[in-house]
């Protein structure tokens, strides 16, 4: 049986607790696990699936990146935040190669010329394309990179 993402987080948390050497990792994984379990419990009183757990991981990464930027801007120590981000990124699947994502971008644009024209008129509305491309990539593409690729392909 394949280990789920929440099972990996739980196993890593147990490993760090046994080692008793990394309080940053223990605190992070304990909080991450709690948040992910809450999502599943709120949904149907069950363990979270990988998609739900990954969404929580990505939320933690986004928040961690913001905290890291804020601390760096004020000249504060960022060691713990950098460590947390390194731990969190281990749970995110490797992204797709840019060439593969670009192929999907081109396919989606070609299949939706009317939406492409609308986007050229209102460049801030790239979200629809990002959503379609993320769906086509199975969530493996980086959303920010997808937005930039779409804009680049449309010359906006």
pLDDT in tens, 44-101: 778 899 889 998 998 999 999 999 999 999 999 999 999 999 999 999 877 788 889 9
Cα→Cα distances 88→19, 59, 67, 92, 105, Å: 19, 10, 14, 7, 28
List domains and CATH numbers for the chain. 5-89 (1.10.1510), 98-154 (1.10.10.410)
**What pLDDT score was predicted for residue 125?**
82
How much is the pLDDT for 145?
A: 86
Q: 3-state SS of 43-73?
A: HHCCCCCHHHHHHHHHHHHHHHHHHHHHHHH
Specify the pTM: 0.66
């Amino acid at each position: 049986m394949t280990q789920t993402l929440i099972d990996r987080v739980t196993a890593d948390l147990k490993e760090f607790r046994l080692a008793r050497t990394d309080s940053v990792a223990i605190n992070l994984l304990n909080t991450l696990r709690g948040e992910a379990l809450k999502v599943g419990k709120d949904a149907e009183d069950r363990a979270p699936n990988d998609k739900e757990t990954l969404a929580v991981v990505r939320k933690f990464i986004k928040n961690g990146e913001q905290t890291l930027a804020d601390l760096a801007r004020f000249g504060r120590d960022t060691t713990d935040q950098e460590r947390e981000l390194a731990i969190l990124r281990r749970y995110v699947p490797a992204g797709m190669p840019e060439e593969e994502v670009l192929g999907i971008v081109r396919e989606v644009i070609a299949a939706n010329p009317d939406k492409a024209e609308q986007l050229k008129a209102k460049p801030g509305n790239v979200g629809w394309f990002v959503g379609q491309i993320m769906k086509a990539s199975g969530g493996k593409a980086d959303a920010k990179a997808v937005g930039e690729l779409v804009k680049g392909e449309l010359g906006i």
